[in-house]
């Protein structure tokens, strides 16, 4: 038995050890060195690297949560009031006023940094995904202290709830007017493309096989860029832009494209071509970003991929409801194709321009009828989960994507979701940044076409990022720079779910 009073129980006098062969003492075991977190410690509130959160004044998260989101919500209220003033039926007006009241409550919660409450059951398929995530990871969290990506997505889901629990207005889209307007104001770029691509694609007469291959490669490079820079027009960022600013962003001329290739800071275009040029009648998926002009550019690109024989099936993935202002919904998809064929959007256009738009629109509608183009809207795309969680939270979607030969993710928000939107080193290789979507058995090849509009940057040399941080402090949000990044995936290994 131990005797605490016995002299031998007294602490020993200090013993000095003379140890010359131990490894040197190191520093940096504090919080900042806990990253990247090991996979088992990653969850939506604890990304692999430190998250951007709304209270981080140094980040775009702060500006967005504090200023941009309230402005966007204010405009959504104005839009709804405009609709209210166009109504005549009492029941519908009372019902719409209920939606407006709920938007005011949301504005109050946003501006007072309220806790994130569960989403009300409105019968949508995503409710269990949202409320399970909120309960598991965000029980005491607020708009400002949860990771920016989650808080921002939550705000758009709450906005949807303002309408989805109403009787008459459950599918109302507060951003629809804006989305239509920007496309109608994009006439120059719209016709530039329709007049070039309305006629089916063909090679120069007498071209040799080598010349045909070269022509295809060059066209692929330019059209990939058209598709990439089509993303530069994002309505949520255009609050203060003039029409000329918009036209500059949308310029699709060859010279402009050559100059802008310099601005692709992480550039896997050659690798992408290598993958695509080996496809014959393959399947390509687009995880869409913005409606209107960007969607139109995506379709021009997809049209060529079909005509060139590279793909025989294209799947377009959109959102089930209004999302991050300008994201594509089924209504936006139908609106674009039908307005091109039957609409009268461009009053000053020549007959020739209108005819070119109709011709190209007819072809796209025909692709849809024949099942060459398929529009889809899985509920997972409108959750707060990042794409690291697809195989766990939406195994059906992962399985579906794993059958694709290439999944192209468009835009900034998809890039944030691919990379977990955290403070990664800028030279982190893309396939490491996207985690399971690159490393899981059966993962498809994944490309990100993104103009850089928020803080997270991967796949870019550290020296480049450091120089820009010094010389152009706004480079991470300006949309002037871009990345085209590819992960090869593991399609050769069969998918294993439910491990």
Which residues of the chain form contacts with ligand F6P (CB under 6 A)?
A: 64, 68, 152, 231, 234, 236-237, 289-290, 324, 326, 411-413, 416, 453-454
For ligand F6P, the closer of residues 325 and 357 by Cβ is: 325
For ligand F6P, the closer of residues 319 and 416 by Cβ is: 416
Phi, psi of 142 (to 5 degrees): -120, 175
For ligand F6P, the closer of residues 319 and 378 by Cβ is: 319
For ligand F6P, the closer of residues 412 and 440 by Cβ is: 412
Q: How far is the CB of 326 from ligand F6P (least distance, A)?
A: 6
Q: Which residues contact 313 (CB under 8 A, 6 or more apart)?
A: 282, 283, 284, 371, 372, 374
Which contacts of 201-205 are long-range, i.e. CB under 8 A and separated by 24 or more positions? 201/304, 201/307, 201/308
Q: How far is the CB of 230 from ligand F6P (least distance, A)?
A: 10
For ligand F6P, the closer of residues 310 and 484 by Cβ is: 484
The alpha carbon of 422 is separated from its chain's Cα centroid by a whole number of angstroms, namely 15
Q: Could you give the 3-state DSSP secondary structure of residue 416?
A: helix
For ligand F6P, the closer of residues 141 and 451 by Cβ is: 451
For ligand F6P, the closer of residues 231 and 356 by Cβ is: 231
- Cβ atoms of residues 92 and 168 within 8 Å: yes
CA dist 462 → 236, 331, 465 (Å): 29, 42, 5
Q: How far apart are CA 303 and CA 284, in angstroms?
A: 12
Q: How far apart are CA 290 and CA 38, in angstroms?
A: 34
- Cβ atoms of residues 138 and 45 within 8 Å: yes
DSSP 66-132: IIIHHHHHHHHHHHHHHHHTT---HHHHHHHHHHHHHHHHHHHHHHTT-B-PPPP--S-TTHHHHHH
Which tokens go with 158?
């709450």
What's the half-sphere exposure (Cβ side, CA atoms, 13 Å) at 191? 16
Q: How far is the CB of 154 from ligand F6P (least distance, A)?
A: 13
- 486 forms beta bridges with 447
- Cβ atoms of residues 44 and 147 within 8 Å: yes
- 290 forms beta bridges with 327
Which contacts of 340-347 are long-range, i.e. CB under 8 A and separated by 24 or more positions? 340/364, 341/365, 345/183, 345/184, 346/184, 346/187, 346/190, 346/191
What's the half-sphere exposure (Cβ side, CA atoms, 13 Å) at 481? 21
For ligand F6P, the closer of residues 231 and 386 by Cβ is: 231
What value, to the nearest 5°, has the Cα angle with vertex 233 and ends 229 and 238?
A: 150
For ligand F6P, the closer of residues 306 and 468 by Cβ is: 468
- 481 forms beta bridges with none
For ligand F6P, the closer of residues 216 and 476 by Cβ is: 476
Q: How far is the CB of 413 from ligand F6P (least distance, A)?
A: 3
Q: How far is the CB of 440 from ligand F6P (least distance, A)?
A: 24
Q: How far is the CB of 452 from ligand F6P (least distance, A)?
A: 9
Max Cα-Cα span within the chain? 106
For ligand F6P, the closer of residues 285 and 289 by Cβ is: 289
For ligand F6P, the closer of residues 237 and 305 by Cβ is: 237
Q: In what order do the strands lie in the sheet with 406-410?
A: 264-267, 482-487, 446-451, 406-410, 282-287, 311-317, 373-376
Closest CA to 416 of 71, 72, 40, 150: 150
Q: How far is the CB of 456 from ligand F6P (least distance, A)?
A: 9
Q: How far is the CB of 209 from ligand F6P (least distance, A)?
A: 39
């Amino acid at each position: 038995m131990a005797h605490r009073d016995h002299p031998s129980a007294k602490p020993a006098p200090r013993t000095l050890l003379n140890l010359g062969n131990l490894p040197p003492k190191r520093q940096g075991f504090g919080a900042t060195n806990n990253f990247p977190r090991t996979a088992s410690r990653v969850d939506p509130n604890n990304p692999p690297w430190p998250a951007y959160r709304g209270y981080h004044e140094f980040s775009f998260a702060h500006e967005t949560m504090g200023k941009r989101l309230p402005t966007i919500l204010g405009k959504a209220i104005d839009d709804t009031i405009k609709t209210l003033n166009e109504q005549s039926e009492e029941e519908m007006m009372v019902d719409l006023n209920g939606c407006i009241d709920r938007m005011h409550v949301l504005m109050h919660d946003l501006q007072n940094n309220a806790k994130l409450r569960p989403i009300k059951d409105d019968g949508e398929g995503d409710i269990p995904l949202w409320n399970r995530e909120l309960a598991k990871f965000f029980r005491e969290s607020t708009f400002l202290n949860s990771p920016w990506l989650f808080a921002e997505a939550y705000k758009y889901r709450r906005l949807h709830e303002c309408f989805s629990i109403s009787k008459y207005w459950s599918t109302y889209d507060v951003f629809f007017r804006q989305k239509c307007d920007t496309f109608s104001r994009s006439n120059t770029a719209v016709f530039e493309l329709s007049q070039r691509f309305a006629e089916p694609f063909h090679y120069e007469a007498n071209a040799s096989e080598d010349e045909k291959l070269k022509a295809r490669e060059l066209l692929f490079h330019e059209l990939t860029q058209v598709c990439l820079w089509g993303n530069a027009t994002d309505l949520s960022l255009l609050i203060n832009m003039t029409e000329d600013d918009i036209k500059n962003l949308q310029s699709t001329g060859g010279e402009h494209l050559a100059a802008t290739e310099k601005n692709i800071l992480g550039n896997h275009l050659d690798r992408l071509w290598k993958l695509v040029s080996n496809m014959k009648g393959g399947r390509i998926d687009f995880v869409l970003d913005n409606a209107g002009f960007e969607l139109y550019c995506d379709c021009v690109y997809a049209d060529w991929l079909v005509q060139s024989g590279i793909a025989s099936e294209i799947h377009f993935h959109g959102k089930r409801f209004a999302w991050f202002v300008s994201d594509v919904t089924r209504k936006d998809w139908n609106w674009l194709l039908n307005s091109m064929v039957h609409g009268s959007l461009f009053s000053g256009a020549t007959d020739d321009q209108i005819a070119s738009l109709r011709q190209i629109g007819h072809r796209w509608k025909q692709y849809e009828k024949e099942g060459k183009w398929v529009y889809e809207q899985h509920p997972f795309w409108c959750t707060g989960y990042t794409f690291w969680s697809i195989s766990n939270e939406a195994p059906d979607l992962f399985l579906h994507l794993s059958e694709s030969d290439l999944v192209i993710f468009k835009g900034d928000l998809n890039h944030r979701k691919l990379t977990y939107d955290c403070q990664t080193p800028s030279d982190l290789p893309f396939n490491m940044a996207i985690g399971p979507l690159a490393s899981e058995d059966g993962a498809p090849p994944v490309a990100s076409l993104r103009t850089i509009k928020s803080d997270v940057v991967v796949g870019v040399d550290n020296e480049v990022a450091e120089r820009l941080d010094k010389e152009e402090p706004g480079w991470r949000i300006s949309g002037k720079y871009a990345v085209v990044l590819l992960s090869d995936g593991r399609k050769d290994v069969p998918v294993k779910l439910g491990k």
